[in-house]
Amino acid sequence: MEHTFIIYLLVNVLPLLLGVALDCLLGDPSWLPHPVVGFGKLISFGEKRLNKGRHRMAKGAVWALFCILFVFVTTYIAIAFLPQWLERLWVLVVGEGVVPTGVVQSSVFVLLTAVLVFYCLAGKTLCKEVRDVFIAVDESLEKGRRQVARIVGRDTSELSGQEVRTAALETLAENLSDGVVAPLFWFLLLGVPGMMAYKMVNTLDSMIGYRTERYREFGCWAARIDDVFNYVPARLTAVILIFSYTCFYTDRGEKGRLRHLLNFVAYYSRCHASPNSGWPESALAGILDCRFGGPHYYFGEYFYKPYIGDNPRLLTTDDMRLSLRLSLIAGLMMVTLVGLILAIVH
C-alpha cells in the first residue's frame, strides 16, 4: 500500500512540483517554443476562413469546441502512449535489463507532464511584466505606455501614469486567476489534458472573445466558454488573495478587515463586464484600498466600464511590491492545496 502511494505521488504530484519549479526558474523565455503560439495559429486559421458570411456565431462555436477538444484529445494521447512507445524504442536500441521495467516509461511521463504544466503556468512572467511596467513609467510616461501595451488589450496611447499603473495591477489580478489558479484548478479536475484544454480556452478568449464589430458574433461562444471555465477559479483567486493578505499582512487586532474585504468583493465584483474578472480585481482593489476600472478604448472602440472601488488615490511602487508578494503567496497556496487534495483523494 505504501509503495503504491509513493508511486502515485511520483506520477501525479511530482510533475506538478517540477512544472511549478520550471516556471519559477525560467518564466516564459523567448527562445523556447511555446504551444500557445501553435494555439494562436490554429485559431487564426479558422477565424480567417469562417468569420465571414452567414451563421458566424454557429461557426465560431463549432470552431471553438473543435480547438478545445483537439487540444484535450491530443494531449491525452501524448501522455498516455508516448512514454510507452519511447520505452519500447529504448528496449529495441539498448536492450532489456539495462534499467528496470517501467522506469523509462515513468520517467518520460513525469518529464513530459512537468513540461506541459510549466507551459500552462505564467506566474513568473506575469510578475516580471508588471514590475517592468512600474519601472518603465517611473522613467517616462511614454515608456510606461509601451510597456503596459505588452500585457493589456486596450489602447494605451493616451493613458496617464496613474492609468498605466492601474492597468498593470488589474492585469496582475486577472491573470493570477487565468495564468496560475485556473490552470492548477483544471489540473486537479482533469489532469494535464484539462490544463492544456483550459489554456486553449484562454487563448481563444484573448484572441476572439471581444465585443468588437469583427468578433462580436464569431467570438461570442469562445467568450462564454471562457466564462464557464473561469467561474470557480476567479472566485477562488479572490478568496485566496484575501486569505493571503489577512494571514500575512493584517494585525491580529484588525478583526473586521476580513469581513470588510469579503463585503467589498461581494459588492464590486459585479462592476465588471466579465462575470469573472471582477472577482480577483475587486479583491486586489480592496486590499490596496484603491480604484480600478473605468472607461477604455479596445481596438479603436470606446467601452464604458464601472469603477471597482471608490478611492482614486495614486498608486505607488509599494503597491506593486505588495501585490507581487500577495500573488506569489496566493500561487504557492494554490499549489499546496492542489498537492494536498491529490494526496488525500488517493
Q: What is the pLDDT of residue 277?
A: 92
Which of 63, 75, 86 has the alpha carbon at shortest distance from 35? 75
Which among 84, 23, 40, 70 is positioned nearest to 196, based on CA atoms? 70
Look at 123-127, 204-208, 267-271, 292-296 and tell me which has the smallest mean pLDDT. 292-296
Alpha-carbon gap, residue 87 to 93, rounded angstroms = 10
Cell of 175: 491573470
The lowest-confidence range among 41-50, 181-190, 217-226, 269-278 is 269-278
The pLDDT confidence band at residue 237, using thresholds 50, 70 and 90, is: very high
Q: Model pTM? A: 0.92
Domain that holds residue 129: 2-345
Confidence label for 274 from pLDDT (cuts 50, 70 and 90): confident
Nearest to 310 by CA among 289, 279, 288: 289
pLDDT over 80 at 254, yes or no: no
Instruction: State what percent of residues in the chain have pLDDT above 90.
Output: 71
* Residue 97 scores a pLDDT above 70: no
- Work out how many domains the chain is built from and give that number: 1
- Residue 321's pLDDT is 97
Does residue 303 sit in helix, strand or coil?
strand
- Dihedral (C-alpha) 124, 125, 128, 129: value to the nearest 10 degrees? -150
**How far is residue 50 CA from its own chain's centroid?**
27
